[in-house]
Amino acid sequence: MTVRTRVEQPSDARATRLVHMAAFPGPDEADLVDALRRDPSWVDEFSVVAVAPVDQRELVVAHALLTRLRIGQGQGLALAPVAVAPEWQRKGVGRLVVRAALDAADAAGERLVVVLGDPDYYGRFGFTPASRHEVTGPFPVRDEYFQALPLSAYDGKPRGLCRYPAPFDGV
Ligand SMILES: CC(C)(COP(=O)(O)OP(=O)(O)OC[C@H]1O[C@@H](n2cnc3c(N)ncnc32)[C@H](O)[C@@H]1OP(=O)(O)O)[C@@H](O)C(=O)NCCC(=O)NCCS
C-alpha cells in the first residue's frame, strides 16, 4: 500500500470533508472541521491528510487535525477529529496519519497534545490519562477517556483545565 501523508492543502478541503462525512454517521465532524478552519485555533501545518494514488490521481483517504487550545495558563494542542474513509480503515492508515500529525507537532516544539477517545486506540501512540499530567478536560467522561501525550519539549507544563476552541461547543 503506497499511502503517504502530507500537510493538507487548501485544494484538499472538499475531499477532506467527504472523508469525514463517510467515516462518521452524520455531518457533525465535517462541520466541525470547516468551523475550525475559520477559527484562530487552526494551524495549517497540523492539518494532515493521508493520500493514496488512484487512477493517476491522489485521493485523500484520511485526515487528522490538531488545533490549539488553552490548558490552564498555557496552551497545548487538541487532536480531533480523526477520520479514515471506510474502505481504508483497519489498514494502518489511521496510525499513519495520527503519527504524522503528532510528529509535526513534536518537530515544531509543541509540548502537549490532548485527545478524547478510546484509550485502546490512542494508547498505541503513547497517550495516557490526562489526569496523570494534572490536565483536566471539560467533558463528563471516565478518566481514562481524556488523555494526554507529552512531546519532546514537555517540561511539566501546561497543567490545568482545557478550554477547547469555540467550534467544539456545539459538538
Ligand atoms: C478510528 C479510526 C480513525 C482508526 O483508523 P484505522 O485506519 O481504521 O485504524 P488503524 O488501521 O490505524 O489501526 C487499526 C487498529 O486499531 C483498532 N481500532 C480501530 N478503530 C478503533 C476504535 N474506534 N477503537 C479502538 N480501536 C480501534 C483496530 O482494532 C486495529 O487493531 P489491530 O491492529 O490490533 O487489529 C478509523 O477507523 C475511523 O475513521 N473510524 C470512524 C471515525 C472515528 O471513530 N474516528 C475516531 C474518533 S475522532
Say which DSSP state 117 is in: S
Q: Is residue 114 part of a domain?
A: yes
Q: Is 118 in the pocket of ligand 1 (CB under 6 A)?
A: yes
Q: Identify which of 19, 90, 146 to mutate to test ligand 1's pocket (most ligand atoms within 8 A of the CB).
A: 90
Q: Is residue 170 part of a domain?
A: no
Q: Which atom of ligand 1 has the smallest separation from the CA of 85?
A: 39
Give residue-wise pLDDT tens across range 28-82. 999 999 999 999 999 999 999 999 999 989 999 999 999 999 999 999 999 999 9
Question: What is the structure's pLDDT at 1?
Answer: 62
Q: Is 92 in the pocket of ligand 1 (CB under 6 A)?
A: yes
Give residue-wise pLDDT tens across range 7-19. 999 999 999 999 9
Please state whether beta strands 112-116 and 47-54 pair in parallel, antiparallel, or not at all (unpaired): unpaired
**DSSP result, 22-42:** HHSSSSHHHHHHHHHHTSTT-
Q: Is 120 in the pocket of ligand 1 (CB under 6 A)?
A: yes
Which residue segment(s) compose the domain that 51 sits in?
A: 4-165
Q: Is residue 61 part of a domain?
A: yes
Give me the number of domains the chain comprises.
1
Q: Is residue 99 part of a domain?
A: yes
Report the CATH number at residue 104.
3.40.630.30
Q: Is residue 146 part of a domain?
A: yes
Q: Is 94 in the pocket of ligand 1 (CB under 6 A)?
A: yes
**DSSP result, 42-69:** --GGGEEEEEEEETTEEEEEEEEEEEEE
Q: Is residue 104 part of a domain?
A: yes
User: What does the mean pLDDT of the chain come to?
Assistant: 97
Q: Is residue 96 part of a domain?
A: yes
> Are 80 and 116 a contacting pair, CB within 8 Å?
yes
SS3 137: coil
